[in-house]
Chain A
Amino acid sequence: MRNIILWIGISLDGYIEGPNQDISWHKVDAEFHQYANDELSEMSAFLQGRKTHALMADFWPGAAGKHPDNHQLVEFAGIWTHMPKHVYSRTWTDAGWNTTVHREVVKAEVEALKALPGNDMTVGGADLAAEFMKLGLIDEFRIFVHPVIVGSGKRLFAEGAPKQELELQETRQFGNGVVMLRYAKAA
Protein backbone atom coordinates (compact mmCIF):
# COMPACT_ATOMS: atom_id res chain seq x y z
CA MET A 1 0.00 0.00 0.00
CA ARG A 2 1.46 3.40 -0.92
CA ASN A 3 0.88 6.25 1.47
CA ILE A 4 -0.34 9.69 0.46
CA ILE A 5 1.82 12.42 1.94
CA LEU A 6 0.53 15.95 2.18
CA TRP A 7 3.62 18.04 1.44
CA ILE A 8 2.99 21.70 2.07
CA GLY A 9 4.49 24.95 3.37
CA ILE A 10 2.63 27.17 5.83
CA SER A 11 3.24 30.35 7.80
CA LEU A 12 3.48 30.14 11.60
CA ASP A 13 -0.15 31.32 11.72
CA GLY A 14 -1.27 28.48 9.46
CA TYR A 15 -1.67 30.03 6.01
CA ILE A 16 -0.69 28.32 2.77
CA GLU A 17 -1.04 31.55 0.84
CA GLY A 18 -1.08 35.14 1.98
CA PRO A 19 -3.48 37.70 0.48
CA ASN A 20 -3.68 37.61 -3.36
CA GLN A 21 -2.17 34.12 -3.40
CA ASP A 22 1.12 35.55 -2.18
CA ILE A 23 3.71 32.85 -1.49
CA SER A 24 6.75 35.11 -1.77
CA TRP A 25 7.42 34.46 1.94
CA HIS A 26 8.21 30.78 1.29
CA LYS A 27 11.90 30.47 2.13
CA VAL A 28 13.79 28.08 -0.12
CA ASP A 29 17.57 27.95 0.07
CA ALA A 30 20.01 25.35 -1.23
CA GLU A 31 19.82 23.19 1.94
CA PHE A 32 16.04 23.07 1.93
CA HIS A 33 15.85 22.56 -1.84
CA GLN A 34 18.30 19.64 -1.63
CA TYR A 35 16.24 18.03 1.14
CA ALA A 36 13.10 18.39 -0.98
CA ASN A 37 14.86 16.94 -4.05
CA ASP A 38 16.19 13.96 -2.10
CA GLU A 39 12.81 13.16 -0.58
CA LEU A 40 10.61 13.91 -3.57
CA SER A 41 12.78 11.96 -6.00
CA GLU A 42 11.87 8.84 -3.99
CA MET A 43 8.13 9.30 -4.54
CA SER A 44 6.20 7.30 -7.10
CA ALA A 45 3.78 10.08 -8.12
CA PHE A 46 2.80 13.71 -7.55
CA LEU A 47 -0.89 14.53 -7.20
CA GLN A 48 -1.62 18.14 -8.05
CA GLY A 49 -4.49 20.52 -8.51
CA ARG A 50 -4.96 22.25 -11.84
CA LYS A 51 -3.52 25.59 -10.73
CA THR A 52 -0.43 24.07 -9.15
CA HIS A 53 0.12 21.83 -12.14
CA ALA A 54 -0.15 24.78 -14.55
CA LEU A 55 2.39 26.77 -12.52
CA MET A 56 4.77 23.80 -12.43
CA ALA A 57 4.38 22.97 -16.12
CA ASP A 58 5.15 26.60 -17.01
CA PHE A 59 8.29 26.63 -14.92
CA TRP A 60 10.05 23.28 -14.52
CA PRO A 61 10.48 21.98 -18.08
CA GLY A 62 12.47 25.11 -19.05
CA ALA A 63 14.09 25.72 -15.67
CA ALA A 64 17.36 23.88 -16.30
CA GLY A 65 18.01 25.88 -19.45
CA LYS A 66 17.34 29.18 -17.71
CA HIS A 67 19.27 28.50 -14.49
CA PRO A 68 22.07 26.11 -15.52
CA ASP A 69 24.22 27.00 -12.47
CA ASN A 70 21.58 26.24 -9.86
CA HIS A 71 22.30 22.60 -9.08
CA GLN A 72 19.15 21.93 -7.01
CA LEU A 73 16.91 23.57 -9.54
CA VAL A 74 18.36 21.64 -12.47
CA GLU A 75 18.02 18.43 -10.48
CA PHE A 76 14.40 19.06 -9.55
CA ALA A 77 13.53 19.97 -13.15
CA GLY A 78 14.54 16.40 -14.05
CA ILE A 79 12.62 14.94 -11.12
CA TRP A 80 9.45 16.84 -11.96
CA THR A 81 9.41 16.17 -15.68
CA HIS A 82 9.93 12.41 -15.25
CA MET A 83 7.71 11.80 -12.22
CA PRO A 84 4.30 10.26 -12.99
CA LYS A 85 1.76 12.94 -12.15
CA HIS A 86 -1.97 13.09 -11.59
CA VAL A 87 -3.86 16.32 -12.09
CA TYR A 88 -7.47 17.04 -11.20
CA SER A 89 -9.27 19.24 -13.74
CA ARG A 90 -12.83 19.33 -15.08
CA THR A 91 -11.80 20.84 -18.42
CA TRP A 92 -8.36 19.57 -19.43
CA THR A 93 -8.04 16.56 -21.68
CA ASP A 94 -4.27 16.34 -21.89
CA ALA A 95 -1.69 17.83 -19.57
CA GLY A 96 1.57 16.53 -21.04
CA TRP A 97 4.69 15.76 -18.96
CA ASN A 98 3.75 12.24 -17.96
CA THR A 99 0.47 13.37 -16.38
CA THR A 100 -2.86 11.56 -16.02
CA VAL A 101 -5.91 13.85 -15.96
CA HIS A 102 -8.77 13.08 -13.56
CA ARG A 103 -12.09 14.94 -13.59
CA GLU A 104 -12.57 14.97 -9.83
CA VAL A 105 -11.34 13.39 -6.63
CA VAL A 106 -13.15 10.08 -6.16
CA LYS A 107 -12.24 8.34 -2.92
CA ALA A 108 -12.44 4.81 -4.35
CA GLU A 109 -10.24 5.79 -7.30
CA VAL A 110 -7.61 7.28 -5.02
CA GLU A 111 -7.72 4.16 -2.85
CA ALA A 112 -7.22 2.00 -5.94
CA LEU A 113 -4.21 4.15 -6.84
CA LYS A 114 -2.83 3.64 -3.32
CA ALA A 115 -3.22 -0.12 -3.64
CA LEU A 116 -0.83 -0.23 -6.61
CA PRO A 117 2.73 -1.25 -5.78
CA GLY A 118 5.37 1.45 -5.49
CA ASN A 119 6.69 4.21 -3.27
CA ASP A 120 4.63 6.89 -1.57
CA MET A 121 2.87 9.74 -3.37
CA THR A 122 2.65 13.41 -2.49
CA VAL A 123 -0.34 15.66 -2.73
CA GLY A 124 0.07 19.42 -2.83
CA GLY A 125 -1.80 22.63 -3.51
CA ALA A 126 -4.26 24.37 -1.18
CA ASP A 127 -7.60 23.28 -2.66
CA LEU A 128 -6.63 19.71 -3.47
CA ALA A 129 -5.11 19.28 0.00
CA ALA A 130 -8.39 20.42 1.56
CA GLU A 131 -10.38 17.97 -0.54
CA PHE A 132 -8.09 15.05 0.31
CA MET A 133 -8.23 15.93 4.01
CA LYS A 134 -12.01 16.09 3.93
CA LEU A 135 -12.11 12.59 2.44
CA GLY A 136 -9.60 11.28 4.99
CA LEU A 137 -7.11 10.40 2.25
CA ILE A 138 -3.97 11.81 3.89
CA ASP A 139 -1.75 9.22 5.59
CA GLU A 140 1.13 11.51 6.46
CA PHE A 141 1.54 15.26 6.88
CA ARG A 142 4.82 16.96 6.11
CA ILE A 143 4.24 20.52 7.10
CA PHE A 144 7.00 23.05 6.54
CA VAL A 145 6.47 25.94 8.95
CA HIS A 146 8.00 29.18 7.70
CA PRO A 147 9.13 31.74 10.30
CA VAL A 148 6.60 34.42 9.45
CA ILE A 149 3.14 35.57 10.51
CA VAL A 150 1.24 36.64 7.38
CA GLY A 151 -2.04 37.68 9.04
CA SER A 152 -4.55 36.56 6.40
CA GLY A 153 -4.99 34.43 3.29
CA LYS A 154 -5.89 30.80 2.77
CA ARG A 155 -5.56 28.48 5.77
CA LEU A 156 -4.24 24.92 5.50
CA PHE A 157 -6.79 23.61 8.01
CA ALA A 158 -10.14 25.18 7.22
CA GLU A 159 -12.54 25.93 10.04
CA GLY A 160 -14.77 22.91 10.59
CA ALA A 161 -12.09 20.36 9.77
CA PRO A 162 -12.86 17.13 11.65
CA LYS A 163 -11.05 16.77 14.97
CA GLN A 164 -8.09 14.48 14.50
CA GLU A 165 -5.31 13.22 16.74
CA LEU A 166 -1.98 12.79 14.97
CA GLU A 167 1.23 11.01 15.78
CA LEU A 168 4.44 13.04 15.62
CA GLN A 169 7.05 11.16 13.60
CA GLU A 170 9.86 13.63 13.12
CA THR A 171 10.86 17.26 13.40
CA ARG A 172 13.60 18.87 11.39
CA GLN A 173 15.02 22.33 11.65
CA PHE A 174 16.51 23.98 8.56
CA GLY A 175 19.15 26.69 8.65
CA ASN A 176 16.79 29.23 7.10
CA GLY A 177 14.33 28.93 9.99
CA VAL A 178 11.89 26.53 8.35
CA VAL A 179 10.72 23.70 10.64
CA MET A 180 9.38 20.46 9.27
CA LEU A 181 6.70 18.73 11.34
CA ARG A 182 6.00 15.21 10.17
CA TYR A 183 2.88 13.44 11.45
CA ALA A 184 1.09 10.21 10.69
CA LYS A 185 -2.58 9.48 11.25
CA ALA A 186 -2.93 8.16 14.79
CA ALA A 187 -3.06 4.37 14.72
Chain B
Amino acid sequence: MRKVIWWMMVSLDGYFEGPDHDLSWHHVDDELHQHLNDAIRPMGALLSGRTTWQLMADFWPNAAQLFPDERLMAEYSEIWKAKPKLVYSRTLREAGWNTTIVRQVDPAEVQALKAQPGGDLCLTAGDLGAEFMRLGLVDEVRLYVNPVVLGRGRLLFGAGVKRELELRETKGFGNGVVMMRYGEPK
Protein backbone atom coordinates (compact mmCIF):
# COMPACT_ATOMS: atom_id res chain seq x y z
CA MET B 1 0.00 0.00 0.00
CA ARG B 2 1.49 3.35 -0.95
CA LYS B 3 1.35 6.23 1.47
CA VAL B 4 -0.16 9.70 1.32
CA ILE B 5 2.55 12.11 2.46
CA TRP B 6 1.44 15.61 3.50
CA TRP B 7 4.49 17.51 2.35
CA MET B 8 4.78 21.19 3.29
CA MET B 9 7.09 24.12 3.83
CA VAL B 10 6.11 25.98 7.03
CA SER B 11 7.43 28.88 9.07
CA LEU B 12 8.54 28.25 12.65
CA ASP B 13 5.21 29.69 13.79
CA GLY B 14 3.27 27.24 11.64
CA TYR B 15 2.17 29.27 8.61
CA PHE B 16 2.24 27.77 5.12
CA GLU B 17 1.57 31.19 3.56
CA GLY B 18 2.31 34.71 4.68
CA PRO B 19 -0.18 37.54 4.01
CA ASP B 20 -1.30 37.82 0.33
CA HIS B 21 -0.12 34.26 -0.40
CA ASP B 22 3.46 35.30 0.32
CA LEU B 23 5.95 32.44 -0.14
CA SER B 24 9.05 34.63 -0.49
CA TRP B 25 10.21 33.41 2.94
CA HIS B 26 10.88 29.88 1.60
CA HIS B 27 14.59 29.18 2.06
CA VAL B 28 15.69 27.04 -0.89
CA ASP B 29 19.37 26.80 -1.76
CA ASP B 30 21.12 24.20 -3.92
CA GLU B 31 21.43 21.66 -1.11
CA LEU B 32 17.72 21.75 -0.28
CA HIS B 33 16.69 21.94 -3.93
CA GLN B 34 18.72 18.81 -4.72
CA HIS B 35 17.20 17.04 -1.70
CA LEU B 36 13.69 17.93 -2.88
CA ASN B 37 14.37 16.82 -6.45
CA ASP B 38 15.72 13.49 -5.22
CA ALA B 39 12.92 12.97 -2.70
CA ILE B 40 10.09 13.82 -5.12
CA ARG B 41 11.50 11.92 -8.12
CA PRO B 42 10.35 8.48 -6.82
CA MET B 43 6.85 9.70 -5.88
CA GLY B 44 3.95 8.05 -7.66
CA ALA B 45 1.90 11.23 -8.02
CA LEU B 46 1.61 14.84 -6.88
CA LEU B 47 -1.68 15.89 -5.27
CA SER B 48 -2.65 19.50 -4.69
CA GLY B 49 -5.45 22.05 -4.71
CA ARG B 50 -6.09 24.37 -7.61
CA THR B 51 -4.06 27.35 -6.33
CA THR B 52 -0.88 25.33 -5.83
CA TRP B 53 -1.37 23.42 -9.07
CA GLN B 54 -1.83 26.68 -11.01
CA LEU B 55 1.33 28.21 -9.47
CA MET B 56 3.29 25.13 -10.47
CA ALA B 57 1.76 24.90 -13.95
CA ASP B 58 2.55 28.57 -14.60
CA PHE B 59 6.15 28.14 -13.53
CA TRP B 60 7.71 24.72 -14.03
CA PRO B 61 7.05 23.95 -17.70
CA ASN B 62 9.10 26.99 -18.77
CA ALA B 63 11.56 27.13 -15.89
CA ALA B 64 14.39 25.53 -17.87
CA GLN B 65 14.12 28.18 -20.64
CA LEU B 66 13.78 31.07 -18.21
CA PHE B 67 16.70 30.00 -16.04
CA PRO B 68 19.03 28.11 -18.37
CA ASP B 69 21.93 28.18 -15.89
CA GLU B 70 19.93 26.64 -13.05
CA ARG B 71 20.57 22.94 -13.38
CA LEU B 72 18.38 22.01 -10.40
CA MET B 73 15.43 23.94 -11.77
CA ALA B 74 15.75 22.29 -15.16
CA GLU B 75 15.90 18.94 -13.42
CA TYR B 76 12.78 19.60 -11.35
CA SER B 77 10.99 20.99 -14.38
CA GLU B 78 11.34 17.57 -16.03
CA ILE B 79 10.23 15.78 -12.87
CA TRP B 80 7.15 17.99 -12.54
CA LYS B 81 6.08 17.73 -16.15
CA ALA B 82 6.34 13.96 -16.29
CA LYS B 83 4.86 13.15 -12.89
CA PRO B 84 1.18 12.09 -12.78
CA LYS B 85 -0.75 14.82 -10.97
CA LEU B 86 -4.15 15.18 -9.32
CA VAL B 87 -5.68 18.60 -8.85
CA TYR B 88 -8.70 19.04 -6.58
CA SER B 89 -10.95 21.72 -8.02
CA ARG B 90 -14.67 22.30 -8.42
CA THR B 91 -14.22 24.69 -11.32
CA LEU B 92 -11.12 23.86 -13.38
CA ARG B 93 -12.20 22.57 -16.82
CA GLU B 94 -8.91 21.45 -18.29
CA ALA B 95 -5.51 20.89 -16.79
CA GLY B 96 -2.87 19.52 -19.15
CA TRP B 97 0.60 18.33 -18.01
CA ASN B 98 -0.47 14.81 -17.14
CA THR B 99 -3.00 16.10 -14.58
CA THR B 100 -6.32 14.55 -13.61
CA ILE B 101 -8.99 16.88 -12.25
CA VAL B 102 -10.83 15.61 -9.17
CA ARG B 103 -13.94 17.48 -8.01
CA GLN B 104 -13.87 16.61 -4.31
CA VAL B 105 -12.11 14.46 -1.74
CA ASP B 106 -13.71 11.02 -1.69
CA PRO B 107 -12.02 8.80 0.92
CA ALA B 108 -12.89 5.60 -0.97
CA GLU B 109 -11.29 6.99 -4.12
CA VAL B 110 -8.15 7.98 -2.23
CA GLN B 111 -7.97 4.52 -0.69
CA ALA B 112 -8.30 2.96 -4.15
CA LEU B 113 -5.50 5.21 -5.40
CA LYS B 114 -3.31 4.12 -2.49
CA ALA B 115 -3.98 0.47 -3.31
CA GLN B 116 -2.57 0.88 -6.84
CA PRO B 117 1.06 -0.08 -7.35
CA GLY B 118 3.69 2.67 -7.55
CA GLY B 119 5.42 5.33 -5.54
CA ASP B 120 3.94 7.29 -2.66
CA LEU B 121 1.49 10.15 -3.12
CA CYS B 122 2.86 13.59 -2.33
CA LEU B 123 0.16 15.97 -1.07
CA THR B 124 1.19 19.63 -1.16
CA ALA B 125 -1.82 21.59 0.01
CA GLY B 126 -2.99 23.87 2.82
CA ASP B 127 -6.72 23.56 3.47
CA LEU B 128 -6.96 20.45 1.32
CA GLY B 129 -4.20 18.86 3.39
CA ALA B 130 -6.12 19.62 6.57
CA GLU B 131 -9.18 17.99 4.99
CA PHE B 132 -7.18 14.85 4.17
CA MET B 133 -5.91 14.89 7.75
CA ARG B 134 -9.42 15.17 9.25
CA LEU B 135 -10.56 12.29 7.05
CA GLY B 136 -7.66 10.14 8.30
CA LEU B 137 -6.14 9.91 4.81
CA VAL B 138 -2.63 11.12 5.69
CA ASP B 139 -0.05 8.41 6.45
CA GLU B 140 2.95 10.65 6.88
CA VAL B 141 3.46 14.34 7.67
CA ARG B 142 6.67 15.81 6.33
CA LEU B 143 7.37 19.39 7.31
CA TYR B 144 10.23 21.61 6.22
CA VAL B 145 10.44 24.18 9.00
CA ASN B 146 11.92 27.47 7.78
CA PRO B 147 13.94 29.56 10.28
CA VAL B 148 11.53 32.48 10.29
CA VAL B 149 8.66 33.77 12.39
CA LEU B 150 6.05 35.31 10.06
CA GLY B 151 3.52 36.58 12.58
CA ARG B 152 0.59 36.26 10.23
CA GLY B 153 -0.75 34.27 7.34
CA ARG B 154 -2.55 30.96 7.05
CA LEU B 155 -1.89 28.24 9.60
CA LEU B 156 -1.15 24.76 8.36
CA PHE B 157 -2.97 22.99 11.14
CA GLY B 158 -6.45 24.43 11.33
CA ALA B 159 -8.75 23.77 14.23
CA GLY B 160 -10.31 20.35 14.51
CA VAL B 161 -7.30 18.17 13.91
CA LYS B 162 -5.95 16.29 16.92
CA ARG B 163 -3.50 13.47 16.59
CA GLU B 164 -0.70 11.59 18.31
CA LEU B 165 2.19 11.13 15.91
CA GLU B 166 5.39 9.17 15.82
CA LEU B 167 8.65 10.87 14.88
CA ARG B 168 10.39 9.02 12.05
CA GLU B 169 13.24 11.31 11.01
CA THR B 170 14.72 14.77 11.29
CA LYS B 171 17.25 16.39 8.98
CA GLY B 172 18.84 19.81 9.29
CA PHE B 173 19.98 21.69 6.19
CA GLY B 174 22.79 24.20 5.91
CA ASN B 175 20.37 27.06 5.24
CA GLY B 176 18.57 26.52 8.54
CA VAL B 177 15.59 24.55 7.28
CA VAL B 178 14.75 21.46 9.36
CA MET B 179 12.84 18.54 7.92
CA MET B 180 10.70 16.61 10.41
CA ARG B 181 8.93 13.45 9.30
CA TYR B 182 6.10 11.87 11.29
CA GLY B 183 3.94 8.77 10.84
CA GLU B 184 1.04 7.16 12.63
CA PRO B 185 2.00 5.64 16.00
CA LYS B 186 2.44 1.88 15.70
Contacts and interface: CB of A to CB of B under 8 A. Distances in A.
A142 B55 CA distance: 35
11 contacts: A12-B141, A14-B13, A149-B157, A155-B13, A159-B151, A161-B13, A162-B149, A168-B177, A179-B178, A179-B180, A183-B147
Nearest to B133: A149
Interface of B: 12-14, 141, 143, 145, 147-152, 155-157, 159-167, 170, 172, 176-178, 180, 182
B149 A148 contact: no
B145 A181 contact: yes
Contacts of B147: 165-168, 183
Interface string A146-187: 011111100111011111111110010100011101010000
Contact of B160 (A151, A157, A168): A151
Given A147-B166, A166-B12, A173-B170, 8 more contacts: A13-B156, A14-B13, A145-B180, A149-B165, A163-B151, A168-B177, A173-B167, A179-B178
Contact of A168 (B13, B143, B164, B172): B172
Contacts of A149: 157, 161-163, 165
B167 A162 contact: no
Given A12-B182, A150-B162, A151-B159, A183 B152 contact: no
